[in-house]
Amino acid sequence: MPNDLPLAIVMNAGSGRRDAAETRDTIRTLLDAARRPHRFFLIEENDDPLDVIREATAHAKEVGGALVAAGGDGTINGVAGAAWREQLPLGVLPQGTFNFFGRTHGISADTHEAVGALLAGTPRNVQAGMVNDRLFLVNASLGLYPQVLEDREAWKQRLGRHRIVALWSGLATMLRGYRPLRIEVGDGERTRQLRTPTLFVGNNALQLEKIGLPEAADVRRNDGALAGLVLRPIGRLTMLGIILRGALGRLGDAENAVSFPFREITVSPKHHRRKMKVAVDGEIFWQDPPIVFRAAPRPLVLISSGERQPGEDPG
């Protein structure tokens, strides 16, 4: 990776918070000190993020540089999708709550450390998932989990962006009640009829390890395997037990949770729907069925100083 590689930095500044401005100033100061050419592309409050990402992508292509995402899961996902489509290297300066993608690839949520890793990093191929034509880095899901994310965002707007808020909001949603999905899931060899609260697909070995799914090892190999998880129809008390097992890293032991590795699955609603709600790296989208989950046909090129190894403290 050349030391003078220009950086097109997409940063979500729409909230107008003081800490966002301070983070931007810190990044600028560190890059100026390293004499690294860069330009910020700020997503302001009334901006369409896709327009800003397109502008940054065009600039990166013009100057022969890299795209950099400075933000949470949504910003990182949008920038990563553009970098993958245009075959540009991706840099990440995480600002989110859980930072699963950054932690997996040795990128700290501390701004000083993340900028240092970006400046010292080298390009590495990493696996990304796809749901239909949309890229995802951590997970994608149908059913209950998208509702959890929508409710979590409402809680965060009122109480702030903290992990404990995210956890409590998720618990409240799951215990409030839900309508199960009725879907057909095919892997090219056979089709299964399922009735389940949620279908969860993971592409991040660290997250899968944290909740205790053995398929983390399949995903870590970076060879096209994803991890699927479905829950059997259950009551609220049983759901509480499953949540507790996930929090303790023992979800793989739950008899009402079924996990499996796969290369590609196609999901169709049993009753015709024009669109289905899909959660992708913490953002909600509507997709026309059938919904196809698979690994991206080529890797994402990430600027990274190294991946967390099994057994290391993930922070």
The whole-model pTM stands at: 0.86
β-bridge pairing 66-71 and 90-94: parallel
Q: If you average pLDDT over residues 174-203, what whole number do you get?
A: 87
Q: What is the pLDDT of residues 48-79, one digit of tens each?
A: 999 999 999 999 999 999 999 999 888 999 99
Query: What would the pLDDT profile of 267-294 be if each residue is shown by its tens digit?
Result: 999 876 778 999 999 888 999 999 999 9
Q: What is the mean pLDDT of the chain?
A: 85
CA 272 – CA 200 distance, rounded (Å):
21
- How many angstroms separate the first and last alpha carbons of the chain? 27
**Which of 36, 40, 37, 35 lies closest to 53 in space, CA to CA?**
40
Evaluate whether 28 touches 85 at the Cβ level (below 8 Å): no
**Interstrand relation of 38-43 and 7-12 (parallel, antiparallel or unpaired):** parallel
Q: Which residues make beta-bridge pairs with 181? A: 196
